[in-house]
Amino acid sequence: MIISLFLLGCIQGDPAATTSSIQETGTPLPTEEVTVQATSTMQTTPAVSATPEITPTIKETPSPEPARDPDAEYYYWIQEEYADVDLPSCEGKAFTHPPSGWNDFVKLIPLGNLFPPEHTIPTHHMYIRLEYAKQVDFQAIGDIRILEIVRYRYPEQNDEDYMFTFALCDQVYGYFIHIRQLSDKVMKAFDEGACEEDSYGDGKYQTCTRKVDVEVKGGEYLGRVGKKDTGGYDLGVYDLRKPLKWANPARNQGRAMLLVCPLDYYADGVRKQMYEKIEREEEPRCGKVNQDVNGTLKGNWYHESANPEGHGEWNTELAFAEDNNEPTTYAVSIGGIFTDAGRVDFKPKHSGTINRAFEEVKPDGKAYCYEGEGKNGSVIIEMESETTLKIEKKMGSCGSSPSFNAPYTYHR
């Protein structure tokens, strides 16, 4: 059973506010303080604003099951994890309802947010933004099966929330994070059976995971979302038929190999309304998770101390990526180790060695320098090979001839 810790802490602050500047933090951001409502106050009947009945219009021609790739066994765990669940074919299946009432969420934040240290590499899910400090009802986005529920407890904040994994059909799965309360129906399923417990971050995060099988209808009330000091929750979707091509697949096990845009699985009319909640104008408007470009600087990198298979700790991560809201802004997203966590944001250039577009930087023996506007400090990098680079933080601006004193090594 795989739990992705990087999903924690993903709604701290509005990611839309993290563009076009250097932003640094010396220590990880604290988890928000929130007020948890008692279970007895949960509603058991749908209270989300009415949504008309919508007949799915997505029609798909069944395609033969793709040949199993012997070098990509790490993403077949999904089918094996839920092998005992009889799921329907994906033909004609689609999401039909927004996750909250249309007036209850303000906007959708695209895939690929960069918010170090918790999200140093592009996020795997979208953010559903509510009004600040507002709590609202949460509903099923279609006829789905809830297959797993994880309760996260944060002892330092005396707080908890939930994540659950669901299936639309036998090839399309998804997950919601930061559900504040579960409906009586879903909570009953969670309370039954054994709990697989674990903890992370020296006990900062304590989890209880339970397999369930709860069938719900589109628009059915599932609980409450929204926190005291922020407003939002997360949605991710993955499709077993559409594996991504990462520069190093071994670091992207499980659903990271299969991530897709959740909005593209909506029925036509609702899909259009959902896209209207996104402010990003450039295509793909849903954002991008995988920004790796083989043989270049662009994409995700990991400190040499990181686990060679799977994601390392947040502080070992490093990304050279486009901003998810303004992709014409590039960012060096730093998890830590060689300097404090933060971002260096800039407009890319297409010549020279200062603020050069990441996809144009290759192992050519040159040192490249990146600096943002409005703050001292810069970083210099050199690709030693297609899979290894050295990097160092410098005081002051780039200057004309950047050089290394004590660089750190990162790998794909």
The 10 Å Cβ neighbour count of residue 228 is 16
Residue 305 near residue 343 (C-beta atoms within 8 A): no
Question: Which among 24, 17, 114, 72 has a CA at the least distance from the CA of 252?
Answer: 72
What tokens does 393 get?
A: 């933080």
- Using the predicted structure, report yes or no on whether residue 354 has a pLDDT greater than 90: yes
DSSP 37: P
Mean pLDDT lowest among 65-69, 175-179, 198-202, 253-257: 65-69
* Mean pLDDT rounded to a whole number for the chain: 83
Inform me whether the pLDDT recorded for 210 exceeds 90.
yes
Q: Could you give the CA distance from residue 271 to residue 411 in angstroms, rounded to a whole number?
A: 39
Question: 38 vs 237, which has greater pLDDT?
Answer: 237
Cβ–Cβ < 8 Å for 36, 162: no
C-alpha 209/C-alpha 234 separation (Å) is: 18
**199, two tokens:** 């903890």
Within a 10 A sphere around the Cβ of 80, how many other Cβ atoms?
Answer: 9
Q: Under a CB-based contact definition with an 8 Å cutoff, are residues 265 and 99 in contact?
A: no
- Reduced to 3 states (helix: H, G, I; strand: E, B; else coil), residue 76 is coil
The 10s digit of each residue's pLDDT in 299-314 is 999 999 998 876 668 8
Whether the pLDDT of residue 35 is over 80: the answer is no
> Which of these, 138, 46, 93, lies nearest to 237 by C-alpha position?
93
Q: Judging by DSSP bridges, how do beta strands 126-130 and 232-239 pair with one another? A: antiparallel
Beta bridge partners of residue 164, listed in sequence order: 149, 176
Q: What percent of the chain has pLDDT over 70?
A: 78
Q: CA-based angle 19:132:207, to the nearest 5?
A: 90
Alpha carbon 33 to chain centroid distance? 22
What digits encode the pLDDT tens for the residues 131-181?
A: 887 899 999 999 999 999 999 998 888 889 999 999 999 999 999 999 999
* Residue 304 half-sphere exposure toward CB, CA atoms < 13 A: 9
CB 3 within 8 A of CB 150: yes
Query: Is pLDDT at 7 greater than 70 in this prediction?
Result: no
Peptide bond into 46 cis (omega under 30): no
The pTM (predicted TM-score) of the whole model is: 0.81
What CA–CA distance (Å, rounded) separates 177 from 179?
Answer: 6
Q: Are strands 232-239 and 23-25 parallel, antiparallel or unpaired?
A: unpaired
Structure tokens at 396: 């002051």
Q: Which two tokens stand for residue 259?
A: 């991530």
Indicate the Cα dihedral angle 117, 122, 123, 126, nearest 10°: 130
Specify the DSSP element, H or E, that contains 322: strand 317-322
For CATH 2.70.70.10, the residue range(s) in the chain are 53-61+72-290
Domain 53-61+72-290, second-level architecture: Distorted Sandwich (2.70)
Half-sphere exposure of 310 (CA within 13 A, CB side): 12
- At 40 the three-state DSSP class reads helix
In this predicted structure, the answer to whether residue 15 has a pLDDT above a threshold of 70 is no
Q: What is the pLDDT of residues 362-392, one digit of tens each?
A: 999 999 999 997 556 899 999 999 999 999 9
Tokens at residue 134, please?
A: 């507002």
As a whole number of angstroms, the distance between CA 307 and CA 289 comes to 20
